[in-house]
Structure 1
Amino acid sequence: MNKEDQVMMDVRHLYNKMAWINKLKMEDSLKGYQSTEVHCIEYIEKNADSNVTKLAEAFYMTRGAISKLTKKLIKKGLIESYQKVDNKKEIYFKLTEKGREVFNIHEELHQEFRERDKIIFDQVSDEQIEALLQFVNGYSQHLDREIEKLALERD
């Protein structure tokens, strides 16, 4: 197996392990909420003036799928829509008090996971982290360009 394949396989295994171990705790603490719902709540809280277009781009989903998701979150009382005084055309979303509670539980879980994994990050130098971030960012930018190409081909 070449190095590129090994990196991809190891990253996939690492992500799957992390997702599996975190999922157990997340599902227990956030019963009744799907992962996509919780991550949508997180995005709305962390990004001002979130709308369907921004959410669709962030989650690589269609605007129709995001509209369906946000309607579900509104129905559950987790988010509410609003319009700006100077822009009555666009609809934005913000968390309700109930949505903020879900957000806070999710944040506390992530802090718990960071504490659990701190032992590993403490063993890595700043230079190693910087090199890893440089690789991840470069690869992400490459994939962004590939996604743009695919979008242009479909138009």
Structure 2
Amino acid sequence: MDKRQQLMSELMDLCNEIIWLNKPELESALDGYTLSEIELIENISLIPNANVTKLAAASYMTRGAISKLTKKLIAKNIIESYQNAENKKEIYFRLTTNGQKINNVHQELHRTFLERDKEVFKNMTDDDFNTIFRFIGRYRQHLKNITV
């Protein structure tokens, strides 16, 4: 196996291990919500004037899938839709109070996982982080160029 294959294999294994380890805690704390719904809630909290197009791009989902998920979350009173006075055509989404509570639980889980894993990061230098960020950035740009 060459180094490229080994790196990709290790990255995939790492991602799968993290998901496998975190999944039970996520499912317990956020019972009744799918991982796609939780991701959408998080993206709505982060993206100003979140609409279907922005959410689809951020979630790597189709606009149709986002439309279905937003309808489910509106029915659960987790998000609400709104329109800006300047643009009555476009529909945007924001979290309700219930949605913000769910997002807060999710963000607290992220903090818990970072605390659990702090040992891995404690000896990393800025150069170590920057090398990894550069690699990920180059790889993501490469993938975007392929799909454009």
- Scaled to the shorter chain, the TM-score interval is over 0.9
1:8-42 deviation per Cα after TM superposition (whole angstroms, max 9, x unaligned): 00000000000111111000100000000011000
Residue of structure 1 equivalent to 2:4:
4
Is 2:79 aligned against 1:65? Answer: no
Q: What does residue range 4-153 of structure 1 map to in structure 2 within 5 Å?
A: 4-148=4-148
1:34-82 deviation per Cα after TM superposition (whole angstroms, max 9, x unaligned): 0000110000011110000001111121111111110000000000000
Percent pairwise identity: 49
Q: How many residues align?
A: 148
Secondary structure of the residue that 1:19 maps to in structure 2?
helix
- CA RMSD, Structure 1 to Structure 2 (Å): 0.6
List, as ranges, runs of 4+ consecutive aligned residues in structure 1 with deviation greater than 2 Å.
Answer: none
1:101-122 deviation per Cα after TM superposition (whole angstroms, max 9, x unaligned): 0000000000000001111101
Tell me, in whole angstroms, the C-alpha distance in 1 between the residues paired with 2:127 and 2:19. Answer: 26
Tell me, in whole angstroms, the C-alpha distance in 2 between the residues paired with 1:129 and 1:56. Answer: 28
Tell me, in whole angstroms, the C-alpha distance in 1 between the residues paired with 2:83 and 2:132. Answer: 41
Tell me, in whole angstroms, the C-alpha distance in 2 between the residues paired with 1:64 and 1:31. Answer: 25
TM-score, normalising length from structure 1?
0.94
Unpaired runs of at least 5, structure 2: none
